[in-house]
Chain A
Amino acid sequence: MRLSTLLLVGAAACAVAAVAGRASAADPIGKGLTMYMQMGGNPGDGATLARQTGAKQAAEALGVDLKEQFSKWAPETMIAQFKEAMAAKPSCIEIMGHPGSAAFHDLVKQAVDQGIVVTSGNAPLTDLQNEFGPKGFGYAGVDLYAGGALTAKAMLAQGLKAGDEAAVWGKFGSAERAISETGLAETLEKAGLKVERLVITQEVDSDASLGVPQFAAYIQAHPNLKAIGTQHGSVTGVMPEALKKAGKKPGEIILGGIDLAPATIDGLKSGYISATLDQLLYLQGFIPVVQCVMTAKYKMPGLSLNTGAGTVTPKTIDALTKLIDAGIR
């Protein structure tokens, strides 16, 4: 082969490589993927906003076409939305774990058999993770029991002692979702506190402000109450209002909750909320999108990320306020 031909071939190869390089640099890694994602409650609410932000920013960064679904935390809506998502034949679906493994099993199997990557968030579906993990079924959310226990320990550190009365409001009976409140209640009980478990109704679950009168009434009816715990983000936000309505001063009752909604920040700043579990909702939105891309493109198995990293107290809240207002923390 003559030198000029070699040079021409070499130049063409360089040009193709350059164009290919530029093209691959221009195309984000998740381009062409569509993902349906269950966000939880209502658009923009305190227990949902940071998850939306995380998912949106991950989708933009990775080039994924993201479709958001909101269920007001109703399990049967989550199931119906999963069916609708599956009918749209997307690349990936992220589900909330609230309906439980038994309710989701056959549907997830059907989706996985069709080649759809399914992953989960917020409440774990351990059985499904064990079965479909190799096909990309991961989990981004708090290790529920440990998260509840962490909140309880933060409450105990504020001066609670054996024999004190405590109330824990939770979604008791709601499949795996109740594990976090169980962790909270049992940790308080192990420390010698007398704990009463109270069920959050569906109405309060969807709109926590509806629960203020009943919370206030309970607090007034139990003058010896020393602590209140919950692992419900919106209930955490409205509980300071209930304490005010019941005539309690900041710090008079140790209140431990979850999430960093705007109302929760006010509660922390005013001293009504003593500690709140930061479950890093942003990551609960961001990581499933990454999981979708990693599995759909690179066949990576499901990853499990415990986002229950620690608690925020009145002393540590100020540094986070701007990020919370931006819907990130």
Chain B
Amino acid sequence: MAERSEASWLQRFEALPIIIVYALLLALFMYLSPGVFLAPYMYTTFLSTLPPLILLATGLTFVIGAGEIDLCFPSIIAFSGFIFAVLFKEYELSWLAVVAGLASGILVGFVNGLIIAKVGIPSFMTTLGTQFFWAGMATVLSGGKSYALRGAEESSVWQWIVGRPFASSSVDWLQQISIQALWTAIIVGFLWLILTRHRFGEHTLFIGDSNDVSRVVGIDVDREKIKIFTLMGFLAACAAIILTLENKNFFGNQGQGYLLTAIASVLIGGTSIFGGRATILGTVFGCLIIGMIEAGLVAAGLTGAWVRTVQGLIFLIAIIFYMYADEPQRRRALLARMGFTGKFGGARAAGSEGTALKRTKS
């Protein structure tokens, strides 16, 4: 009984285990590098560098929550980034370039969804193929060249999307706060509401639990999947435009470094890789951990080869901690295996009836 109340306490707050992991990690870095992590500058830096990762990971939370995967989004960052950069620089189309960049991402995402839902090709294979295709298109169209957006900071597009609203402040760290953090917070907050309060979010998790059960209860699975991948394309295009404007440069290979980091952020945040369970708040904290970890380890004085080793270790610890903190039945099974059967009795094997079935019953 005591354990049941403990479990409900842990589960009452969304993503609490990963928030605890984040807080512990932050405290560790503050202890190891007080000059860096007790000053505001690193955090204002994260406000400008993390928004693309958070947007991508938020989109992936829907995709993975629906039991699918998207490997194409790094190429959307390259392709939409190119569309935006070339229209912005060569044709000086300003806000029309933004619209075109977003439209190109939406189009790619829509096509991905169409192939997956209507042609019936698994999302892994579809997005693997389209990943190569759109990255190739970006290279072909750009000729492998970079575009330097010199003077972009003078434009209203730059000011509104990645500007520094407190640039005239007398406090130097306030000057560095970038507005893309605000847009990202608004988008992520809205999508959190969609996932947790709207029918689309409910359908996404239903589909993640079971496509068949979802169809039985009347969900148009194909339509919802197309919507999910279109949303992912839109968010990847948002990330592309932010990245291009923030760097004042389009790089032909931009976005390639985000594939594994975005997926890792979603998974360590607590979204189930099998679908049916997703948490945007957990994803955001997963991104914060991923974004902070290398800077923290380097500041702590770890040399190159060790950084990745410790990164991997922290990922594993975070995931294991999350699983055992968030899933009481798994914790009970572990304790039973370790011989703690008295107080922690009643251990059962993890996994009982499917969540979708439970949802159906309710």
- Show the binding face of A for B, using Cβ within 8 Å: 36, 39, 43-44, 52, 65, 67-70, 72, 74-77, 79-80, 83-84, 86-89, 99-100, 102-103, 106, 172-175, 199, 201-203, 205-206
Q: Is the CB of B247 within 8 A of A79?
A: yes
Q: Is the CB of B42 within 8 A of A87?
A: yes
Query: Please, which residues of chain A bring their CB within 8 A of the CB of B341?
Result: none
Contact of A68 among B144, B146, B150, B304 (CB under 8 A): B304
Given A83-B49, A100-B146 in contact, is the A69-B249 Cβ separation under 8 Å?
no
Q: Is the CB of A89 within 8 A of B35?
A: yes
Taking the closest CB of chain A, its distance from the CB of B145, in whole angstroms, is 4
Taking the closest CB of chain B, its distance from the CB of A135, in whole angstroms, is 19
Q: How far is the CA of A122 from the CA of B76 in the complex (A)?
A: 30
Q: Is the CB of B304 within 8 A of A88?
A: no
Given A84-B49, A173-B146 in contact, is the A76-B41 Cβ separation under 8 Å?
no
Assess whether B243 is interfacial by the CB under 8 Å rule.
yes
Q: How far is the CA of A43 from the CA of B306 in the complex (A)?
A: 9
Assess whether B22 is interfacial by the CB under 8 Å rule.
no
Q: Is the CB of B248 within 8 A of A106?
A: yes
Taking the closest CB of chain A, its distance from the CB of B140, in whole angstroms, is 10
Query: Please, which residues of chain B bring their CB within 8 A of the CB of A36?
Result: 298
Assess whether B36 is interfacial by the CB under 8 Å rule.
yes
Q: Is the CB of B252 within 8 A of A174?
A: yes
Assess whether B39 is interfacial by the CB under 8 Å rule.
yes
Q: Can you list 27 A-B pairs with a CB-CB distance of less than 8 A?
A: A65-B301, A67-B298, A68-B304, A70-B304, A72-B257, A74-B253, A74-B256, A76-B247, A77-B257, A87-B295, A99-B247, A99-B249, A100-B146, A100-B148, A100-B249, A102-B148, A102-B248, A103-B247, A172-B145, A173-B143, A173-B144, A173-B146, A174-B146, A174-B251, A199-B144, A201-B253, A202-B253
Query: Please, which residues of chain A bring their CB within 8 A of the CB of B247?
Result: 75-76, 79, 99, 103
Q: How far is the CA of A96 from the CA of B300 in the complex (A)?
A: 22
Q: How far is the CA of A210 from the CA of B254 in the complex (A)?
A: 19
Encode contact with A along B236-275: 1 for CB under 8 Å, 0 otherwise. 0000000100011101111011000000000000000000
Q: Is the CB of A44 within 8 A of B304?
A: yes
Query: Please, which residues of chain A bring their CB within 8 A of the CB of B2?
Result: none
Assess whether B45 is interfacial by the CB under 8 Å rule.
yes
